[in-house]
Amino acid sequence: MPFQCGCRSLSFAFVFGFLLIFGPALCSGQFSGSAVSASSALSIPQAQIIQPGDLSRILHSRGSAKPLVLQVGSRVMFEQAHIPGAQYAGPGSQPAGLESLAAKVVSLPKDAFVVLYCGCCPWNRCPNVGPAFNQLRQSGFVNVKVLYIASNFGDDWVNKGYSVEKGN
Amino acid sequence: MKKAISLTLVLCACALVFCSPARLPARGSLVHKRAPAFVRRDLSGNRIRLSAYRGKVVLLNFWATWCAPCRLELPRFAAWQRKYKQQGLQVIAISMDDDAEPVRALVRSFALDFPVVMGDAAIGERYGGVLGLPITFLVARDGTIAARLEGESQSVDMEEKLEQLLAQP
């Protein structure tokens, strides 16, 4: 009997804890099984995502091939701070931004190493990286990575101490 | 039973850590300091000078048209502008869009009845770096920043803070 009681308590604790942790996400549909929009950052395959620390190491390492880093968010935010060497392409959620992105890569070989980033909003709310990534993949680029920015560029890049540049 | 209680406590702690909403405030260096002054033209061409609102509580919101959480907040701010106008609330929205046209369209479609100005890197830097959206500053009647709210804020929390500020002379 005591054993049964313990099992029940453990089960209760597990279910209670699970609901506490994942309840809000389940309610908001994040894990509800509903189809992820093709334009959502959540649709980007895990293998195509690069972490801030990994990108920083690549940018600072000698000898390794450097990617073309393109910011696909706001120009105002780019001017305040951006990844050294990055170029501004424009918001991927808008036609003008996608046109600008196409122009940035038009002369590149399809196997060029390209890294896209935005950082305007939390990853699951970013409207820009998904469309930009999809456009490059559909254009035949096979070595495109997207920088994973969990919250925003300020918190996940600048405040983490990774190097930045200002201006155009 | 003790194991169950311990497990529950651990899971609750994890829930608090991983499921917390917008951080209040994340970069608090400007909190309790005077709000950086600015003078801008709004979309209607009116001159908006922050210092002219001294004596009012100002909700200063940095946003962009393509920012989904921002679009959720703006109608709420418009409702608060109407609700608390007599008590001295003034909402001012600073768009971080690259161009004014989509901003004008959204202001029309949302029927926003508070000043909306176009931002730039200079104003972003003066406010500690606007490197994520939305960001909202609550400015007290004496012109000091009372709160900096980053990310989509919990409306109840923000409204409570606003009411506290509005209740102050």
A77 and A140 in a single domain? The answer is yes
Yes or no, beta carbons of A17 and B11 under 8 Å apart: yes
- Other C-beta atoms closer than 10 Å to the C-beta of B168 total 11
Give the span between the Cα atoms of A92 and B66, in whole angstroms: 10
A58 and A129 in a single domain? The answer is yes
Please write the tens of the pLDDT for every residue from A66-84.
999 999 999 999 999 999 9
pLDDT at A2: 47
A105 and A131 in a single domain? The answer is yes
In A98-117, the residues whose Cβ lies within 8 Å of chain B are: none
Give the span between the Cα atoms of A132 and A97, in whole angstroms: 8
A79 and A151 in a single domain? The answer is yes
pLDDT at B1: 55
* CATH number, domain containing residue A58: 3.40.250.10
**Is residue A163 domain-resident?**
no
The amino acid at B70: C
A21 and A91 in a single domain? The answer is no
Q: What is the mean pLDDT of residues A136-151?
A: 97
In A123-152, the residues whose Cβ lies within 8 Å of chain B are: 125, 127-128, 151-152
**Is residue A164 domain-resident?**
no
| The total number of residues written for chain B in this structure | 169
Per the structure, the count of domains in chain A is 2
pLDDT at B163: 97
Give the span between the Cα atoms of A161 and A159, in whole angstroms: 5
A29 and A94 in a single domain? The answer is no
pLDDT at B139: 98
**Is residue A18 domain-resident?**
yes
pLDDT at B29: 80
A69 and A89 in a single domain? The answer is yes
Give me the torsion for CA of A30, A33, A35, A38, rounded to 10°.
50
Task: List the domain range (segments joined by +) for residue A5.
Answer: 1-34
A14 and A69 in a single domain? The answer is no
On chain B, the residues whose CB falls within 8 A of the CB of A125 are 67-69, 152
Query: Residues of chain B whose pLDDT is less than 50?
Result: 12-28
pLDDT at A97: 92
Share of chain A above pLDDT 70, in %: 79
A47 and A98 in a single domain? The answer is yes
Non-local CB neighbours of B5 within 8 Å, separated by 6+ positions:
A13
CA geometry: angle at B84 spanning B83 and B88, to 5°? 155
**Is residue A114 domain-resident?**
yes
pLDDT at B151: 79
* Token pair for A168: 């155009």
- Other C-beta atoms closer than 10 Å to the C-beta of A102 total 14
Q: What is the mean pLDDT of residues A149-159?
A: 95
- Paired strand residues for B148: B137
A46 and A106 in a single domain? The answer is yes
A92 and A10 in a single domain? The answer is no
**Is ipTM > 0.85 here?**
no
Q: Which domains does chain B have, with CATH numbers?
A: 22-167 (3.40.30.10)
Yes or no, beta carbons of B132 and A155 under 8 Å apart: yes
Give the span between the Cα atoms of A96 and B65, in whole angstroms: 14
* In contact, A115 and A145? CB cutoff 8 Å: yes
Yes or no, beta carbons of A76 and B19 under 8 Å apart: no
pLDDT at A37: 77
Confidence band of A24 (pLDDT split at 50, 70, 90): very low
* In contact, A98 and A132? CB cutoff 8 Å: yes
Yes or no, beta carbons of B132 and A152 under 8 Å apart: yes
A90 and A139 in a single domain? The answer is yes
Give the span between the Cα atoms of A43 and A41, in whole angstroms: 5
Non-local CB neighbours of B33 within 8 Å, separated by 6+ positions:
B144, B145
* In contact, A52 and A162? CB cutoff 8 Å: yes
* In contact, B134 and B69? CB cutoff 8 Å: yes
